[in-house]
């Protein structure tokens, strides 16, 4: 059962189809110069933006092994033109990590800075409030799975209260690995129509996203190298299945340590779940 749960966890981080294997990860230190992090990853100096102002904070950022990555940033004070970052990529699926902190003293209260984040034109983080999630000078990483089909990946920050900002952007190609299929059906055998949502959190990271069911199925590829995404310590996973009317049909919450999961011998896997219709 532990191995099966581990498979579910890594399945949900990256969805099919796999991005072309020649696509390299994109890492950008927004508002700042090139930077090499504690894992040896090189972050390029700020590029890809259309708008906004570079800034630097002196605050000591907590909850991260790379506080310097959060001390540079880019914010947008233009209420007319949204700030966007655009990157050319090969078509395929990607996991996008956005790095935030709230280090501006006068904005360190709930509701002081609120903004929407869109990726590929869809709102993935509505009404994001950095302080509400991370507190004073706390590091926050928000992750989402997206698809590129026109040769580019666009991230947009839309102001609601005060000025939206971002400190770093990381774009990771979909990982190759064993496939996992989740099958959701009602007792009468009909497939469930709905959405599978997930959230993966630890002391340093936060990933979340959704996977609409197709004929009752969610198909994904397992991420066999979680350390590439910074997942190296104990984390919590919450899964939630809702039908087309918004009724919660199934929920799972668990803690995992990626060091305890070995996917090397797995080629394919599946999980069949029978849920009651509400």
Residue 201's pLDDT is 76
Mean pLDDT (whole number) for 229-256:
80
pLDDT digits (tens, 9 = 90+) for 32-68: 999 999 889 999 999 999 999 999 998 999 988 899 9
Helices then strands, each counted (H, E), the chain: 2, 20
The pLDDT-based confidence of 18 (bands split at 50, 70, 90) is: very low
- Best CA proximity match to 9, nearest among 153, 186, 156, 199: 199
Residues 82-123 have pLDDT tens digits of 999 999 999 888 889 999 999 999 999 999 999 999 999 999
Long-range contacts from 210-217, C-beta under 8 angstroms, 24+ separation: 211/12, 211/15, 211/145, 213/184, 215/191, 216/183, 216/184, 216/185, 216/190, 216/191, 216/192, 217/181, 217/182, 217/183, 217/184, 217/191
Q: Percent of the chain scored above 70 by pLDDT?
A: 78
Report the pLDDT value the prediction gives residue 265, as an integer from 0 to 100: 57
The residue with tokens 């992090």 is: 37
**H or E element in which residue 218 lies:** strand 217-221
DSSP 223-244: -S-GGGGT--S-EEEEEEEEET
pLDDT tens, 174-211? Answer: 654 555 678 999 999 999 998 888 777 776 666 666 77
pLDDT of residue 44: 97
- Asked if the model's pLDDT at residue 223 lies above 70, the reply is no
Q: Retrieve residue 31's tokens.
A: 């508002």
> What's the pLDDT score for residue 267?
55
pLDDT at 237 over 70: yes
Contact 48, 28 (CB under 8 A): yes
Output the CA torsion sign for 127, 167, 22, 219. negative
Q: Return d(Cα 208, Cα 210) in angstroms, integer.
A: 7
Residue 17 pLDDT level (bands cut at 50, 70, 90): very low
Residue of 185 and 238 predicted with greater confidence: 185
Concatenating the DSSP letter of every residue in 92-116 gives EEEEEEEEE----GGG-STTSSEEE
3-class SS of residue 263:
coil
User: With bands split at pLDDT 50, 70 and 90, how would you rate the model's confidence at 16?
Assistant: very low
Instruction: Tell me what pLDDT residue 63 has.
Output: 87
CB distance 10 to 226 below 8 Å: yes
Rounded to an integer, the average pLDDT of 139-154 is 89
- CA dist., res. 208 & res. 206, Å (int): 7
Tell me how many degrees the CA angle 108-111-116 measures, rounded to the nearest 5. Answer: 110
Domains detected in the chain: 2-16+175-274 (2.60.40), 26-173 (2.60.120.430)
Query: Residue 162: pLDDT above 90?
Result: yes
- Beta carbons within 8 Å of 73's beta carbon, 6+ residues apart: 30, 31, 32, 54, 55, 56, 57, 101, 165, 166, 167
Task: Supply the mean pLDDT for the chain.
Answer: 82
Question: Can you tell me which residue has the tokens 């902190």?
Answer: 101
């Amino acid at each position: 059962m532990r191995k099966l749960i581990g498979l579910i966890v890594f399945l949900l981080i990256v969805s099919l189809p796999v991005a072309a294997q020649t696509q390299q990860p994109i890492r950008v230190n927004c508002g700042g110069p090139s930077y090499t992090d504690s894992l040896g990853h090189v972050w390029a100096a700020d590029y890809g933006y259309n708008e906004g102002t570079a800034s630097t904070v002196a605050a000591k950022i907590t909850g991260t092994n790379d506080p310097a990555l959060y001390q540079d940033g880019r914010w947008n004070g233009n209420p007319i033109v949204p700030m966007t970052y655009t990157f050319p990529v090969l078509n395929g699926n990607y996991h996008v990590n956005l790095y935030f902190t709230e280090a501006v003293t006068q904005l360190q209260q709930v509701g002081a800075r609120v903004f929407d984040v869109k990726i590929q034109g869809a709102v993935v983080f509505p009404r994001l409030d950095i302080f509400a999630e991370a507190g004073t000078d706390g590091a926050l990483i928000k992750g989402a799975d997206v698809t590129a089909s026109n040769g580019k990946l666009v991230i947009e920050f839309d102001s609601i209260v005060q000025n939206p900002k971002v400190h770093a952007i990381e774009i990771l190609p979909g990982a190759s690995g064993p496939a996992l299929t989740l099958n959701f059906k009602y007792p009468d055998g009909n497939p469930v129509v709905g959405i599978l949502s997930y959230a993966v959190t630890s002391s340093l990271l936060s990933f979340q996203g959704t996977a609409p069911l197709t004929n009752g199925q969610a198909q994904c590829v397992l991420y066999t190298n979680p350390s590439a995404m910074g997942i190296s310590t104990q984390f919590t996973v919450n899964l939630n299945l809702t039908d087309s009317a918004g009724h919660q049909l199934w929920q799972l919450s668990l803690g995992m340590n990626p060091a305890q999961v070995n996917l090397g011998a797995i080629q394919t896997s599946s999980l069949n779940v029978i849920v009651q219709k509400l």
